Structure 1
Amino acid sequence: MYPKELNYRMPAEWDKHERTYISWPVQASMVFPDNYESVSRGYAEIISAIAEFEPVTVIVNPEELETVRQMKLGDNVTLLPVRHNDAWLRDNGPTFVVGEGGELAGVNWKFNAWGGKYAPWDLDDNVAPQILEQAGIGQFDAPLVMEGGSIHTDGEGTLITTEECLLHTNRNPELSREEIEEYVRKYTGAESIIWLKRGLSGDETDGHVDNIACFAAPGKVIIQVCGDPQDENYEITRENLRILENTVDAKGRKLEIVQIQQPPRVDYDGSRLTLSYLNFYFVNGGIILPVFGGTAAETDKLAEQTLAGLFPDRRIRTVNGNGVIAEGGNVHCTTQQMPARRA
């Protein structure tokens, strides 16, 4: 049976966590392997920030355990030896779902490295089952190639995604839009799916939603916007904004929309970096927010102020958003939350 038929649902990210999972970077798979030391420092900063709020389990290749242990990431951090090819656990880790009685299970999606972009990915495709086995959590195997960064939920039956990613022919070319939507519903418990069109310009994930829009609460969506008509993101974000303004959620509510201004464009090695404040991560009692400094100093401040206003009961903990961004993602992409189990 499917999770939905057994009354499992994908909870909101702001629900209480038992812990956060994150993978340690693998130099051999990096886009810029010469940056391994600086990227490792970026991961260490993210891990230490999250550990201020909740336990963190770091997936580490066995041969690197001692090296990572020497970094002294803190008492709230546990290392777990699991072989992996790459370090974006949001996308190859399990999507946790919660039953009516509070019991946990995990969805094991198929993973093909964002449409076959980075070979090999066989180890990454086997990470989720190992996490679930280690945690003693039941597993649902989904016959669908999908990454966790491509979906976001309000925890009340509404899920948001992009057509650019979920309908891309490099994921599930044999399936129709209707078939993909039905699988997503069955495995996440969603009742309604909001389809945005595209993700941010330059996003090599083919438009993951966690860079462009997310729920702040049931009925409330944050979207990153662009005010420069000469920027490719201007029309992308305007089109997505129009969709959100003209839709309702699973409960029939018209959405309240909060806009966050994107940081100024930054290029690296001839390509645009996918800078997004929406790649923040909810932790227990806080939010881990990537900021970028330099030309982004003003938008950094605005993003922090906006989130502080939206979440007055959460501490906004900023981290250096430049630490890992050249590898293609940021804080949210590196993490996967395990919801708190209830007796």
Structure 2
Amino acid sequence: MSANPRDLGFLAPPEWAPHGRCWMAWPCREEIWPFGIETARRAFAEVARAIAEFEPVTMICRPDLLASASLELGPGIGLLPMPLDDSWMRDIGPAFVVSGDGRLAGVTFRFNGWGGLVSDFDQDARLARRLLDHLGLAAFESPLVLEGGAISVDGEGTCLVCEPSILDPKRNPGATREQVEAELARCLGVARVIWLPYGLVDDETGGHVDNVARFVRPGTVVAAVDAEGRPNEEPLRANLEVLKTAEDARGRRLEVLELPLPKPLPRADGRLLTASYVNFYLANGAVLVPAFADPKDALAEKVLAQCFPDRQVIRVDARDIVQGGGGIHCITLDQPQAGLPAT
């Protein structure tokens, strides 16, 4: 559909708005999991079961893996057969939008394998439209290459992005800030974009914002910080300076809450891997906080509990998921509850 979502009254709701469902995708790209794909599948199943205590969960699954996925997931998790290349549902799913009278629709941004990080992504590039068709929802197409982990919205017209991933010449060659802002306004109802200069230094996606800064309520963001002398110290400090001087779409200065990064995790090849507590998931009545067997796990839970005092805090071991290149926010996609008007 070539119509303008914004002109039809649609906008992107915040993640703390009520969900109708959580979507996930069953791991199927074996080569990205250094400790084996079965380890990844067990980790995904644990996340799915934790979320299912609070909202419906449906796992999109390659048809040939349905039987084994059903055994691993157990009862209570829905399964939807659909072609897949990978399992990062946040990045390949649609961007859901809601109208002022509560109608649900979706935007299909282009997906090109994170700027060519992977070469076989044809099925994932089609998944957003296939899912919207399955749900019977209107689909608005965008020419912008954009993954879901690259944006965070407050539901009141403000959007956080990291410049390196959005203006990546392998994603959107020649694109300018002004062009991106115009497209986010058209598709998601965004009135102000706050551009952060850096993602995590070793983020294979080129720097998704859901690892460094996210809205937790209008006017308030959590932002990752790192210890002195570590590679992410200076880039994250630069992000903080931007956030502390930024204004949202309603002219408010942002309140910025800091979330220290855990210690880097060892990879199977001996390299170190950066993880982030900013990559949490909000479910109806709960906040799922990634845990890394790190002393800072408790601090992250405390900060996020203060951000969401009416939600139960659920600790989720995210170490095996991070080994594949993402976190619990990356493997989940919240579908807003239909019938509730956009803010």
TM-score (norm 1): 0.96
Question: For 1:161 and 1:27, how far apart are their aligned partners in 2?
Answer: 27
Letter in 2 for 1:190: V
1:123-155, Cα deviation, whole Å (9 max, x unpaired)? 000111111111111100111111000000000
Q: What is the CA-CA distance between 1:186 and the residue it aligns to?
A: 0.9
Deviations 1:16-72 (A, max 9, x none): 0000000000044x3236511111111011101110110001000001111111124
Inter-partner Cα distance in structure 2 for 1:2 and 1:73: 41
> Structure 2: any 5+ residue segments left out of the alignment?
none
2:272 maps to which residue? 272
Which residue number corresponds to residue 323 of structure 2? 326
Indicate the residue corresponding to 2:48 in structure 1: 47
Q: Does 1:88 align with 2:88?
A: yes
Q: CA deviation at 1:5?
A: 1.4
Structure 2: how far apart are the matches of 1:221 and 1:69?
37
Q: Is the 8 A contact 1:244 1:255 kept in 2?
A: yes
Whichever residue aligns with residue 310 of structure 2, its letter is D
Q: Is residue 202–residue 272 contact of structure 1 (8 Å, CA) maintained in 2?
A: no
Report deviation, 1:73: 3.0
Root-mean-square deviation over aligned CA pairs: 1.2
Q: Secondary structure at the match of 2:314?
A: strand
SS state of the match for residue 123, structure 1?
A: helix
Contact kept? 1:41, 1:323, Cα under 8 Å: no
Give distance in 2, aligned partners of 1:267 and 1:33: 11
1:316 aligns with 2:313: yes
Matched, 1:14 2:16: yes
- In structure 2, C-alpha distance between the alignment counterparts of 1:134 and 1:213, rounded to whole Å: 32
Sequence identity (%):
41
For residues 331 and 59 of structure 1, the distance between their equivalents in structure 2, rounded to whole angstroms, comes to: 16
Aligned counterparts of 2:197 and 2:74: Cα–Cα separation in 1: 39
Residue type of the alignment partner of 1:252: G
- Helix, strand or coil for the counterpart of 1:327? coil
> Is 2:157 the counterpart of 1:160?
no
User: Is contact 1:43-1:323 (8 Å) kept?
Assistant: no
Task: Using the TM superposition, name which of 180-189 and 119-128 deviates more.
Answer: 180-189
CA–CA distance in 1 between the matches of 2:122 and 2:73?
30
Q: What is the aligned counterpart of 1:341 among 331, 338, 341?
A: 338
Corresponding position: 1:25 with 2:27: yes
Task: Give 5+ residue unaligned stretches, structure 1.
Answer: none
2:62 is aligned with 1:65: no
TM-score in terms of structure 2 length: 0.96
The whole-number CA distance in structure 1 between the counterparts of 2:35 and 2:217 is 40
Q: Deviations over 1:100-135 (max 9, x none)?
A: 110001001110010011121000001111111111
Post-superposition Cα deviations, 1:290-343, rounded to whole Å, max 9, x if no partner, equal: 1000xx1x2001001111122111001111111211100010000111000017
**How far apart, CA to CA, are the structure 1 residues paired with 2:272 and 2:86?**
21
CA distance in 2, matches of 1:237, 1:251: 25
Alpha-carbon distance, 1:274 to partner = 2.9
1:260 positional shift: 1.1
Matches within 5 A, 1:144-293: 144-228=144-228, 230-268=229-267, 269-293=269-293
Is the CA contact (8 Å cut-off) linking 2:42 and 2:72 kept in structure 1? no
More deviation, 265-274/199-208: 265-274
The answer (yes or no) to whether the contact 1:108–1:129 under 8 Å persists in 2 is: yes
Distance 2:35 2:227 in 1: 35
Tell me the amino acid that sits aligned with residue 86 of structure 1. Answer: D
